[in-house]
Amino acid sequence: MDKATTDAGTNGVKSPPRQVFFFDIDNCLYPKSAKVHDLMADLIDRYFVAHLSLPWEEATRLHKEYYQNYGLAIEGLVRHHQIDPLEYNAKVDDALPLDDIIKPRAELRKLLEDIDTIKVKLWLFTNAYVNHGRRVVRLLEIEEFFEGITFCDYAATPLVCKPHPDMFRKAMQEAGVEKNEDCFFVDDSYSNCKQAQELGWATAHLVEDGVKPPRTPASKYQIRHLDELRTAFPQVFKS
Ligand SMILES: [Mg+2]
């Protein structure tokens, strides 16, 4: 992954154009039932308490508000409280005890192996910072399938993250793809999928078993399991 990542942005020029399959990472490449999100939410709440000197209830309320308004708690922290985003990353994402939770999964590996990389380039697309994104795919032992990663650069101002359209444009530029119709996407977030669908990406919203499906689907495809990408997008798999 490293070489392709450093080449990001020039890939489209150097090699013939290929379609790109963008994969969200958290709660997508590993199941929501791993409860990483809950652990993260707890660390974020603690961060709010410690760094904004807030009582617990106010901290959890503000965390929720920023998450809903901006898609990421950190965006609210940067906008309104001038926190150091990389210190936040160290205390939250990098502090997650993932080694005990995220393990390689044979079915995921098989799914990625069956994708025809002559036709499509696999690309990671996350709202996490690069450290966390890389750590997760390393623990899943699927690093080698991806040619690069578009992540939320916590050090940048303004912060750009999904579902903002600029983040989708950034991903396309880094992955070296020009047309929206050449983009495939899977994500567990309703708003991310809704935005991708509006842009014209071929989008599958992952709504795991046990998760209540939305009243209005976010995108053309809604899947219960990543394996259903085989039926949603048969054209990207080896025949
Ligand atoms: Mg996700």
Distance 51 CA to ligand 1 centre (A): 26
Rounded (5°) CA angle 106-172-32: 35
Distance 236 CA to ligand 1 centre (A): 22
Distance 37 CA to ligand 1 centre (A): 9
Distance 79 CA to ligand 1 centre (A): 23
SS3 content of the chain, % helix, strand, coil (to 5): 50, 10, 35
pLDDT of residue 188: 97
Q: How far is CA 154 from the centre of its chain?
A: 14
Rounded (5°) CA angle 231-237-239: 100
**Does residue 100 carry a pLDDT above 70?**
yes
- What are the pLDDT digits (tens) for 101-120? 999 999 999 999 999 999 99
Distance 24 CA to ligand 1 centre (A): 6
Residue 216's pLDDT band (boundaries 50, 70, 90)? very high
Q: How far is CA 145 from the centre of its chain?
A: 16
pLDDT of residue 122: 98
Distance CA 217, CA 231 (A): 18
Distance 16 CA to ligand 1 centre (A): 30
Distance 29 CA to ligand 1 centre (A): 8
pLDDT of residue 231: 98
Distance 14 CA to ligand 1 centre (A): 31
pLDDT of residue 227: 97
Distance 42 CA to ligand 1 centre (A): 17
Q: Which residues surround ligand 1, an ion (CB under 5 A)?
A: 24, 26-28, 188
Q: What is the 3-state secondary structure (H, E, C) of 87-144?
A: HHHHHCHHHCCHHHCCCCCHHHHHHHHCECCCCEEEEEECCCCHHHHHHHHHHHCCHH
Distance 95 CA to ligand 1 centre (A): 18
pLDDT of residue 17: 79
Q: Is 122 exposed, middle or buried (0-12, 13-18, 19+ CB in 10 A)?
A: buried
Residue 5's pLDDT band (boundaries 50, 70, 90)? very low
**Angle, in degrees to the nearest 10, between helices 56-70 and 73-81:** 100
Range picked from 53-67, 74-88, 111-125 for highest mean pLDDT: 111-125
Distance 123 CA to ligand 1 centre (A): 14
Distance CA 160, CA 125 (A): 12
Residue 150's pLDDT band (boundaries 50, 70, 90)? very high
